Amino acid sequence: MEKNNLSIKRKDGSFLARIFSVQEAGILVPLILLIVIFSCLNSGFYSLPNIFSVLKTLAFYGIVAVGMTLLIIGGDIDISVGSTAGFAAVFSTFIMMQFNCFGMLDTPNEWIGVFICMIITLGICSLVGILNAFLIVDFKLPAFIATIATLYVVRGAIMVVTNGNPIYPLPKFFMDDIGRFQIPITKVGEELIGISLPIIVFIVLVIVFEIVLRRTKFGRNVYATGSNIEVAKLAGINTRRVRYINFIITAMLAALSGMLVAAFTRQGYPPIGQGWEMQIIAAAAVGGIAMTGGSGSMIGTLLGVLIMNIVNNGLVMMNIDTFVQQAVQGVIILVAVYVDIVRRNRKVHV
C-alpha cells in the first residue's frame, strides 16, 4: 500500500479508523490536551454539570455549524447565519404569541400551534437562504458581500419588528417541553443532569450529514462542486441546485437553532445570534474544513465545535473577560486557518 500523506487511510474493519481520518485524528490531540489543561487549571471544569452545560451551549452553535460545513465544503460561505437565527427566534415567538398559537394557547393542543409556528418560521428563513443563493449563485456576487448585506438587512428587520424588545412570555409547551427537554442521566445535588434536546438534535444532524457527505451522490456532488466547479458543471452536475440546497439547509438549521435558543432562554430575545458567524467559522477552520472548499467532514466540525467551546468555557471559568474571549477567538481563527494552509502546501513525499 502506498503511503500517501494526503489520502484518507481506511483499513477495512477498524471502526475507529473508519470514522476518523488522519487529518481529524490530528485535531483530537489538541482537544484532549485542552481538556486536560483546563481540568487542571480549574477544578470545576470536570464536573458533570459543567460538562453538560458546555455540551448544551455548543449544540446551539453546532447545529448551525453542520449547515455551514456543508456550505463551505461546497465552496461557499454565509456570514448572515447569526442574523437568521435571531430572526427565527423573534419571528417564531412573535407569531406564537400574536396568534395565541392559533387559539390553542394554554390548551392541551398547544403543541400543534407551536409546531405550526416553528414550521412556518423554517419556511420563512429558507427564503433568506434562497436570497443569499440568488445573489451569490445567480448574480455572482462575492459571497462575503452578499452575506454581509443580508446580515445587516435581516438584523435591521429584527430590530424594526421588535424595536429591541424581547418577546415574553411564551407558550408553556415551547418553554418547558422543548426548552427543558432532556434525557435524564443523573442527579447532582438537587439538579437533574441530562442530555438536552439541542444536544440530541446536534448529534443526529452530525450523523445524518456525515452519511450524506460520504455515502450519497449528493454528498459527492458537494465535494465536486467545492473542489472545481467548472469540471463539476461539465460533468453534468447541477451545481446551481447543489449550492442552492446548501444555502437553504444552512439557513434552516440556523433558524432551528435560533428557535431552540429562544425556547431555552424562555424569550424571543432580539440580539440572539449576534457574533455566531465568528464562532462557527472558527469551529469549521479548527475542524479542518478548507475555506476554499472541496474537503472536510462533519466529524471535523464536531471536533472543532468542541474545541472552540471548551476554550470558551475554560476561559470563563478562569474569570477571563468575555471580551478578551472574543479577541482570543479571532486569534484562534487566524492560527487554525494558517495551520490548514501550511498543511495543504506542505511538501509531500512522492
Q: Which is nearer to another protein, 46 or 144 (CB)?
A: 144
Q: Least distance in Å: CB of 254 to another protein?
A: 17
The whole-angstrom separation of Cα 266 and Cα 180 is 10
Residue 5 CB contacts under 8 Å (≥ 6 apart), including other chains: 22, 346, 348, 349
Q: CB–CB of 276/85 below 8 Å?
A: yes
Q: Least distance in Å: CB of 255 to another protein?
A: 19
Q: Which is nearer to another protein, 209 or 264 (CB)?
A: 209
Q: Which is nearer to another protein, 113 or 296 (CB)?
A: 296
Q: Least distance in Å: CB of 287 to another protein?
A: 14
Rounded to 10°, the helix 239-265/197-215 angle is 170
Indicate the burial class of 59 (C-beta count within 10 angstroms; 0-12, 13-18, 19 or more): buried
Question: Residue 111 CB: number of other CB atoms within 10 A?
Answer: 17
Residue 274 CB contacts under 8 Å (≥ 6 apart), including other chains: 82, 86, 155
Q: Least distance in Å: CB of 310 to another protein?
A: 18
Q: Which is nearer to another protein, 202 or 223 (CB)?
A: 223
Q: Which is nearer to another protein, 150 or 313 (CB)?
A: 150
For residue 185, give the H/E element and its range: strand 182-188
Q: In angstroms, what CA-CA distances link 329 with 3, 73, 126, 127, 246?
A: 35, 22, 29, 30, 26
Residue 124 CB contacts under 8 Å (≥ 6 apart), including other chains: 91, 255
Q: Least distance in Å: CB of 94 to another protein?
A: 16
Q: Least distance in Å: CB of 96 to another protein?
A: 22
Question: Residue 45 CB: number of other CB atoms within 10 A?
Answer: 20
Q: Which is nearer to another protein, 198 or 314 (CB)?
A: 314
Q: Least distance in Å: CB of 212 to another protein?
A: 9
Q: Least distance in Å: CB of 293 to another protein?
A: 9
The whole-angstrom separation of Cα 201 and Cα 57 is 13
Q: Which is nearer to another protein, 242 or 252 (CB)?
A: 242
Place of cell 477552520: 285
Q: Least distance in Å: CB of 224 to another protein?
A: 5
The distance in angstroms from the start CA to the end CA of the chain is 13
Q: Which is nearer to another protein, 112 or 278 (CB)?
A: 278
Q: Which is nearer to another protein, 187 or 215 (CB)?
A: 215
For the four alpha carbons of 196, 276, 62 and 52, in that order, the dihedral sign comes to negative
